[in-house]
């Protein structure tokens, strides 16, 4: 392998070439979301559309576990209003590695309310990245939205 090829093994080498600042933390999150999306595609490839959200959630957990990712299923996030707890909770479907919230849907089409729901979870937890996955599509990429704050 040439010295040039060796120098470019890391994407950090490409950042100065394109005038971008390299951010290892951001790259790690992108790799994480890519891994999660790959796991979701695997679930969709095997199950296809038309099942309940809970089925997709359970199978996605299986794939995430196989990928070595840590996650919390149906995490309880307290609802605070003006600094006081209301006693209620939000329940996002999955929180992966403590830095990506996944909201799973199995609907005809994603609506603005689904995106608003995920953004609310993200704001209330301080988690900056979210994936909205609608499994009721012919191809999963048609039902995929990556959101960030």
β-bridge pairing 129-134 and 100-105? parallel
**Separation between Cα atoms, residue 19 and residue 54, nearest integer Å:** 44
Mean of pLDDT over the chain: 84
**What architecture (CATH level 2) is domain 22-148?**
3-Layer(aba) Sandwich (3.40)
Task: Tell me the two tokens of residue 124.
Answer: 């209330």
Token readout for 92 is 């996002």
Percent of the chain exceeding pLDDT 90 equals 69
- Separation of alpha carbons 119 and 92, rounded Å: 11
- Contact (Cβ atoms closer than 8 angstroms) between residue 110 and residue 135: no
pLDDT tens digits along 104-122? 999 999 999 999 999 999 9
Q: Domain locations in the chain?
A: 22-148
User: Which residue would you say has higher pLDDT here, 1 or 87?
Assistant: 87
């Amino acid at each position: 392998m040439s010295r040039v090829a060796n120098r470019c093994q890391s994407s950090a080498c490409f950042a100065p070439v394109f005038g971008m600042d390299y951010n290892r933390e951001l790259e790690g999150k992108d790799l994480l979301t890519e891994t999660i999306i790959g796991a979701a595609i695997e679930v969709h490839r095997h199950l296809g559309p038309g099942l309940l959200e809970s089925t997709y959630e359970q199978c996605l957990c299986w794939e995430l576990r196989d990928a070595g990712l840590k996650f919390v299923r149906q995490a309880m996030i307290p609802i605070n209003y003006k600094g006081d707890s209301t006693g209620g909770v939000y329940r996002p479907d999955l929180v992966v590695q403590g830095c990506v919230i996944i909201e799973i849907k199995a609907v005809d089409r994603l609506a603005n309310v689904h995106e608003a729901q995920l953004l609310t979870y993200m704001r209330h937890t301080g988690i900056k990245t979210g994936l909205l996955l609608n499994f009721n599509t012919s191809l999963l990429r048609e039902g995929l939205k990556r959101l960030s704050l």
